Each structure stands twice: as structure tokens, then as C-alpha cells.
Structure 1
Amino acid sequence: MNSFANPTAPGMDDRPDQPPAARRRLALPSARAWLACAQWLVTLVTCAFLIVPVAMSIVAGLTVNYFRGVASGLTLRWLDQVWTQYHASVFLSLEVAAATLAATLMAGVPAGYALARSRTRVSRVIEELLVLPVALPGLASALALLVVYGGFSAFRMSAAFIVVGHVVFTLPFMVRPVAAVCASADLRTLEEGAASLGASFWQRFTTIVLPNAKPGIVAGALAVLTLSIGEFNLTWMLHTPDTKTLPVGLADTYASLRIEVGSAYTILFFLMTMPLLVAMQWIGVDAPGAGTRQRKTRVRNKSKDSQ
């Protein structure tokens, strides 16, 4: 009876104030949270702006009639037509990309290592000259190659001429990542230690430089492949009717055929380049510092095991 008469009994209106945790749950998001939400919103809108046209082009390549849309039905007819007419361009693009990669590996890895080790002004000038083709329009580089080597008919009509143009354009994308890795202080220390133990230059290069430069080599290799497959301006100037690559064929389909065929060609191009883009994320191109953190973690684990 007294419990009902006592206004201060538990459960009445004079309950203690809410704890600080409850008050925090009711608080509005902080300015940092609003800023993070705004950044995510801008990122998602930008991705949608870039991805939606590609998705619509892919859908167009799978529809029976582009002007009627998906309501006209889906078909693989256009893909089959593109493959029948342009499969030679697919294989030629792969061959050119593979040859370009081989040439840039043989020239770019030693060049990147040499530029990283040299600190003279001459090496800086050479590095800038290597990057110059990237700054120039592809048509200008192609015109220069035609002026110098266009008189050699057999070379001009072969796919090797396109490979030379692609090597000129993609070589900086191999040299720069390799030079950045080889310029690290840790690699120089390892080389000096190996040299003090009697290792020759070739032994140091194959057992120390190449394994440690793997992230830069992988990043450069994947960049060279994707750029070579997708290069249009330079290739359009250098190609002949017998050396038509994927980008040149894609331009022809959009210029002379119906839009469904051009979109189907885009699907074929997409299927070729996406594996390379995925490989760039998964085959060893780590985020900055990720490889260093992983190595430090392995060292700590080994030290703990030894103890």
C-alpha cells in the first residue's frame, strides 16, 4: 500500500536522468559524419555517371532492336556477327599487346633500374625524353614514325610497325613504376650487403632487384597491356587494311554499321579488358604501404615463433 502512496518509489516519474550513453545515441551526427556521407554521395554519383553509359551500350548490343529497347527481346546475334567479321582483329590486338609487353619488359625494367640508380642530370633528361611521347598527341607520334620509317614498305605494312608505335607510347608506363621501386633505400641497402658478400652484378640483379621490383613490374605490365589493347589514335594512323586492331575495328563498326553491331563490339572489347583490370587489383598491385605492412607483420610473426 505504501509503495503506491510513495511518490519516490521505483518506476515513478522522478526517474534518474538518462545515462550519457543514451544521450549520445540521441545526438545528431557530427560534421565529420556529414562530410563522409557527402563524399560517398559524390563518389556514387560520379561512378553512376561513368558506368551507366557503358551499361546501356552493353544492353544495346544484346537487344534485337536498339530503338525499341529491351522490349524487342534479347539476342546474341550481334555478338556472333561481330566475332565472325572481326575475330582476326581480336587475335591481332592480343599479339600486338603481347609483343609490346615483351619489348617494354626487356627495355623498361633495365632502364628503370638504371635511372633510379643514376643521379646525374643526363639521367633526368633521358627520363623526361622517355615521357615525352605521353605528352604528345598519338597522331603526332604516329606521323613522326611514318616520316622516319614509312619508306620501308615491308616494315610499314607489317604489324611490327604498330608494335613499335605502342612501345614508344607505353614504355614510360613501365619505366616509371620500376624506377620508383628501385629508388627505395631498402633495396639499395640489400644490394650493398650482397655486394659486400661477393655477389656479382648479375646475381644481385636477378636475386635481389627483380624480386623486390615485382610490384612495379606487375603494375607496369598490366598498364602496358591495357593501354596497348585500347590505343586508337596512334594505331589508326599506323594501321593498314591487313593490320586492323580492336579499337580501329570498333570505330569502323560505329561509323558504317548499325548501333547494335557497334555495341556488340563494345561487349567484346569489354570482355577482353575487364580481366586485365581485375588482375591489376588482385595480382600484386597493393595499396601504398600494404606490402611494407605485410612484410613487417611476417617479420614479427617469425620473431614470435622463434621466441
Structure 2
Amino acid sequence: MRRDWKFYSQLGLTIVLCLFIVVPVVMSALAGVTVNVFQGLSSGLTFRWIIEVWDLYTASILLSLWIALVCLAVTLVTGVPLAYVLVRRPGRLTRLFEELLTLPVAIPGLALALALLITYGGVSGYRSSWLFILTGHVLFTLPFMVRSVAAVMSAMDMKMLEEGAASLGAGFWRRFFTVIVPNAKPGILAGALMVVTLSIGEFNLTWMLHTPLTKTLPVGLADAYASMRLEIGSAYTLIFFVLIMPLLIAMQTLADRGKRVSKRIETAEDTL
């Protein structure tokens, strides 16, 4: 196929846009391993800033990962059944509930945090616990899990699948866990990917809900950039990428594998 000037102009524009996005990330990563960011690479490379960040913010980093994993568990336990009910029992009440469910996404994170502070801020033990931040993260991320799972469930014929399983003697819970959930796996994995990434990177909501003892990774990153050397903040960013990228790649791989399995199942069903 002959490639004209339009193809090369689009390719050039794509490369420029990619560089515009990637170059700042690379520069920030290099700043985290540079002796002096203002002198550049000529000042030499060092792991001093990374070690210093790890010593100062280990608790914040581990707390963020823990909250993200617990948030994922809570949204899985609540989000998948909610999506099933919304798809299986459509009606005015379920549509109203779905709209209410998406309110935390529609309003600013600071407003949601303020609402939680007004409602539960007086509960001292709860207010000073990481569970308070977890509550905000669950409210913010649950709609993404429900929408992802519901989209996949809407695309499959759940009534036929359940009737087939029921004809073989399967009860409701067995049908749900052995028929519905496996077929909804691509949506569940996609929702899990969004929940984990949103929870780890959430700043606005967390900034208002955190205490000095419940500082998470994004809040610590903001503090590092505001109150310390630029190299410290850049090293913090580098650690963030090192921690999050393997998790994202692993979850994306699982999501792609789930899609391939679903396609093979659909092909086999069409053949039969």
C-alpha cells in the first residue's frame, strides 16, 4: 500500500504527542537518581534520594497499597452482586439507584470528603483510622466496578445461562458463582484495574480525609514536592511507578487472558 503525505504527517504528529507525554516522565525519573537536578546528569547518578524516600515514607507507601487492595476486595464483594441486580432486574428503582451510585464520581472529591467529615468526623476512633480513607475510596471507586461488570453482563444472555444451569439442578448461588461470575470475568478484571489505579492515585479525597498517621502515597508525594528537594519528590515519583507498573501490567494481562477465554467460549457456543 502506498503511503502519502497524510500518513507521514499523522505519524509525525503521533510521535510528537507521545514525546510530549513521555519526556516529562523520563525527566522526572532521571531527576530522582541525579545528584543535583539543576546540574543535570553531569552531576552524576545516585540512589541516595530513593533510599531517603524509602526511609521517610515506607509507611505511607505500604498504607496506600493496603488501602487499594482492601478497597478492591470491598468493591468486588459489593459491586459484582450490585451489577447483577441492576442488569437482571431493570426498572425505575434500579435506574434511580444507579444514578445515586454514580454521584460520588459526578461531584468533586473535596466535596465528597467534606460530606464524610461532616457526617462521621465526630467519631474519633473512626476519623483517625485508615478505615475512614477506605470509606471514601470505596464510595469513589465502586461505580467504576459496577459499570464495568454491568456492561459485560448486559452483553450476555444471562436469562438463558441461568435457565440452562437451573435445568441441571443448580441453585441460585451455584448459578451465580459458577456461571455468571466466570462469564463476567473480563468486566470484573477491567473494574479491578480501575479500582486499584484510582485508589492508589487518589489525592483530592484523601488529602482532606488523611491524618498525620494515615498519610497515603499521593499525599506524601505532594508533601515531598512542597517541602523538600526536587530530587526527593522525583525519587518518590520513581518509586510510585516501580510499585504500580508491575501491578498494572499483571492485571492487564489477566484482563486480556479473560477476554481471549470469553471469545473462545463464544466461538465454541456458535459452533454448537
- TM score, norm. by length of structure 1: 0.83
Q: Contact between 1:219 and 1:285, CA under 8 Å: does it hold in 2?
A: no
Pick the aligned partner of 1:113 from 74, 78, 84.
Answer: 84
Q: CA–CA distance in 2 between the matches of 1:292 and 1:228?
A: 28
Residue 184 of structure 1 pairs with residue 168 of structure 2: no
Pick the aligned partner of 1:237 from 208, 215, 227.
Answer: 208
Q: Secondary structure at the match of 1:62?
A: coil
Q: As a proportion of its length, which structure holds more helix?
A: 2
Partner of 2:144: 173
Q: Deviation per CA, 1:20-67: give whole Å up to 9, x if none.
A: xxxxx9xxx36xx55444443333222211111111000001100000
Bigger shift: 198-207 or 256-265?
Answer: 198-207
Structure 2 unaligned regions, length at least 5:
none
Q: Secondary structure at the match of 2:241?
A: helix
Residue 297 to residue 34, structure 1, CA distance change in 2 (3 Å): farther
Partner of 1:208: 179
Residue 285 to residue 133, structure 1, CA distance change in 2 (3 Å): farther
Partner of 2:25: 54
Q: CA–CA distance in 1 between the matches of 2:76 and 2:110?
A: 25
Q: Contact between 1:109 and 1:178, CA under 8 Å: does it hold in 2?
A: yes
Partner of 2:190: 219
Structure 1 unaligned regions, length at least 5:
1-24
Residue 264 of structure 1 pairs with residue 239 of structure 2: no
Partner of 2:107: 136
Q: CA–CA distance in 2 between the matches of 1:213 and 1:60?
A: 43
Q: Contact between 2:221 and 2:233, CA under 8 Å: does it hold in 1?
A: yes
Residue 93 of structure 1 pairs with residue 64 of structure 2: yes
Q: Contact between 1:64 and 1:75, CA under 8 Å: does it hold in 2?
A: yes
Pick the aligned partner of 1:274 from 245, 255, 263.
Answer: 245
Q: Contact between 1:103 and 1:167, CA under 8 Å: does it hold in 2?
A: yes
Identity of aligned residues (%): 58
Residue 189 to residue 41, structure 1, CA distance change in 2 (3 Å): farther
Pick the aligned partner of 2:265 from 291, 295, 301.
Answer: 295
Displacement of 1:184: 2.3
Higher relative contact order (CA 8 A, sep 6+): 2
Q: Secondary structure at the match of 2:45?
A: coil
Q: Secondary structure at the match of 2:214?
A: coil
Partner of 1:71: 42
Q: CA–CA distance in 1 between the matches of 2:262 and 2:74?
A: 30
Bigger shift: 266-275 or 254-263?
Answer: 266-275
Displacement of 1:293: 4.1
Partner of 1:15: none
Residue 67 to residue 285, structure 1, CA distance change in 2 (3 Å): same
Displacement of 1:290: 5.5
Displacement of 1:195: 2.0
Displacement of 1:282: 1.2
What is the RMSD of the two structures over their aligned residues, measured on CA atoms? 2.1
Residue 44 of structure 1 pairs with residue 15 of structure 2: yes
Q: Which amino acid in 2 is paired with 1:183?
A: S
Residue 39 to residue 113, structure 1, CA distance change in 2 (3 Å): farther
- TM score, norm. by length of structure 2: 0.93
Q: CA–CA distance in 2 between the matches of 1:48 and 1:280?
A: 26
Partner of 1:123: 94
Q: Which amino acid in 1 is paired with 2:71?
A: T
Q: Secondary structure at the match of 1:284?
A: helix
Q: CA–CA distance in 2 between the matches of 1:244 and 1:193?
A: 50
Q: CA–CA distance in 2 between the matches of 1:214 and 1:90?
A: 29
